[in-house]
Amino acid sequence: MVQIKQLITPNEDFYNYFLQYCIRSKPYDFCELKSFKLRNAKIKEYFNVLISDTIIFVAEIDSKIFACTFFSEQKDHLILEFVIGNSKFDSIFLIKSLHEMLISSQKVFDKKETRSTIQRKYKKQKFINWIKRYDKVCEITEIEGKTQIIWKNERLN
């Protein structure tokens, strides 16, 4: 059974989970640096920014994290800053779990929608195509040359 909860204190295991995801998925240019030392330092720096500036929700099965989201709060909506999903799980299952984390966070912070801007360049179109294929409740739009995804509360429920 999937359990959604807010993560208050990330530990070293959580950081390693984040690091491995960044190395494998390359969501930002700094994740592709040839120097392992510099790449890992940049990933650690970004991780520290996320944990100090965002609210983290995790999806677990048997107390093992398989997906997590990092949110920042705006006046009228949440911003999904970063998301990790374990590719060993079925895509439909991952999207359902993402929706559960979105619903939980919107309830906690009393927001009607969550927005996210796709920052990645590495396999960006493949990522967008995956979202379009599996996430039928989100809206994908281009705003000022940036791809934005919007999840409205009424469509998630």
pLDDT tens-digit map of 67-99 = 999 999 999 999 999 999 877 777 888 899 999
What is the value of pTM for the model shown?
0.87
Q: How confident is the model at residue 117 (pLDDT cuts 50, 70, 90)?
A: very high
Average pLDDT, integer, range 2-29:
90
Tokens of 10: 């990330």
On whether residue 95 sits in a domain, the answer given is yes
Q: Which of 82, 95, 98, 84 is nearest to 4 (CA)?
A: 98
Angle in degrees, CA 104, 108, 109, rounded to 5: 120
Give 31's DSSP letter.
Answer: G
Q: How confident is the model at residue 116 (pLDDT cuts 50, 70, 90)?
A: very high
On whether residue 50 sits in a domain, the answer given is yes
* CATH number of the domain that residue 53 is part of: 3.40.630.30
On whether residue 140 sits in a domain, the answer given is no
On whether residue 128 sits in a domain, the answer given is no
User: Distances in Å between the alpha carbon of 148 and those of 14, 48, 57, 76?
Assistant: 27, 24, 21, 16
pLDDT at position 89 is 75
**Exposure pattern of 62-99 as b/e (b: 16+ CB <10 Å)?**
eeebbbbbbbeeeeebbebbbbbbbeeeeeebbbebbb
pLDDT at position 19 is 94
